Amino acid sequence: MDHSKQLIAVIDEPGAERNALAEAITCDGMGVFAAENIEHLPDNTALIVAHARTVPRQQWSQLAHRLPTLVVSDSRQDADLIKAIDVGLVDYIVHPLRHAELLRRMIRKAIELHLVAQERDRDRERLAELNESLETHLALLRMDQQSGGHIQRRLLPVHPKVINGVYYDYWFAPSLYLSGDFLDYQRYNERYSTFYFADVSGHGASSAFVTVLLKYLCNRWLSEWDGREPERLAPNWLAALNRELQDTDIGKHATLFVGVIDHEAKTLHYSLGAQLPMPLLATKDSLVRLAGEGMPVGLFPDVEYPSLSCVLPSEFRLWLCSDGVLECLPGKTLDTRLTELEQLVSESVTLEQLRDRLALTNALLMEGSVESEANQDRDALPDDLTIMMVSGFGHAD
């Protein structure tokens, strides 16, 4: 610190003692301004050294709030010193000329602490301004997210819905206002209906934008389909979407399941891209995972997706879940949680039953009632959670 620029005001009665005090301070390279009272001090005064006998009692409080002040006195029993301490001036020294080096050190330390306090106050003011600005931006962002979430929900299909005798329903629970999960189902004609179930990587707005793109593209491709080769529709959609995500270069990929139901032949034609958990097909006598595997959509160029088919009985329930459901299930390993999901699905006839069972299991996990290791290695940020059920045939449109 450059002490030569520090101006110290010495408040004391004129005389040899004040001159000696000023000289003791000056020899340390600091400037001194001697005065009889605290009025008309220079603007650049850094600190006041005031003799207890000089300042009237009613002025001590004013002095304490004006500048850092060091009180000097001839005795610890000095009544004026006690008055100064009562108003908060706790930096004092008795017989300052006998302790000149201590006096100078106390002056330097008091100035340093005052500068630190000023900087702290400025930082606090800046922090308050930044916090206010942050709160404003967060409020605007929250409003945008809420509006976006409302729009995204409007893009989802009406539910429940019956298409050509097949019942479609879903439960949609984003972790934030916007979701990376998305689904849709549509009637193509009296023979075919199509549906897809998507989980875009990540959370929030960027993932939700991909779901809007997915909605637009699938609607366009469906309108361009001629109704031939239904077994090729699903893999062709995935390959086309893979190219689109590669071309946009937005760093997003997705897991998808695309299905085409032939209501006349009672057959499901489907393809999938890294769908997890795998769709579960429940019938009167069994619960099986649909066969097949495929690469994630949007990660790798020139991917060919499988063309798969299975016969659907008259009564079936096809369950599709996003990977967020795994956070609601106990177990240290993925296989354990998938087995637990299959057990819950086998006990559920309706979407509401599965949802309630998952909610109960998750509540037990949160309470620690289920095995403690089940909560290890889970994401800190909860994932979107979506469940879709397709069942039929024979429902009334």
Q: Is the dihedral of CA 358, 329, 254, 146 positive or negative?
A: positive
Q: Produce one character per residue of 198-225: b if its CB has 16 or more CB atoms within 10 Å, e if not.
A: bbbbbbbbebbbbbebbbeebeeebeeb
Separation of alpha carbons 299 and 322, rounded Å: 19
What residue segments make up the domains of the chain, in order of their start?
A: 3-122, 156-392
Backbone angle region of 249, left / alpha / beta, with phi > 0 → left and psi within -120 to 50 → alpha:
left
Per-residue pLDDT at 377: 45
Q: Produce one character per residue of 315-347: b if its CB has 16 or more CB atoms within 10 Å, e if not.
A: ebbbbbbbbbbbbbbbbeeeeebbebbbebbee
Per-residue pLDDT at 1: 42
Any idea which architecture 3-122 has in CATH? Answer: 3-Layer(aba) Sandwich (3.40)
Per-residue pLDDT at 382: 59
Per-residue pLDDT at 378: 45
Per-residue pLDDT at 100: 86
List average pLDDT for each run of 10 residues in the chain, which is 397 residues long: 70 89 81 85 87 83 82 84 81 87 88 89 94 93 89 94 97 87 96 96 85 94 96 97 91 95 97 95 94 94 96 96 91 93 95 92 72 46 84 85
Per-residue pLDDT at 292: 94
Burial of 282 (0-12, 13-18, 19+ CB in 10 A): buried
Per-residue pLDDT at 205: 83
Same fold, 3-122 and 156-392: no
- Topology given in CATH for the domain delimited by 156-392: Phosphatase 2c; domain 1 (3.60.40)
208 close to 148: Cβ distance less than 8 angstroms: yes
Per-residue pLDDT at 373: 46
Q: CA 343, 199, 366: angle at the middle one, nearest 5?
A: 50
CB count in 10 Å sphere of residue 79: 11
Per-residue pLDDT at 369: 54
385 closest CA partner among 108, 144, 155, 199: 199
Per-residue pLDDT at 42: 87
Per-residue pLDDT at 44: 86
350: Cβ contacts below 8 Å, ≥ 6 apart: 389
Burial of 314 (0-12, 13-18, 19+ CB in 10 A): exposed
Separation of alpha carbons 287 and 290, rounded Å: 10
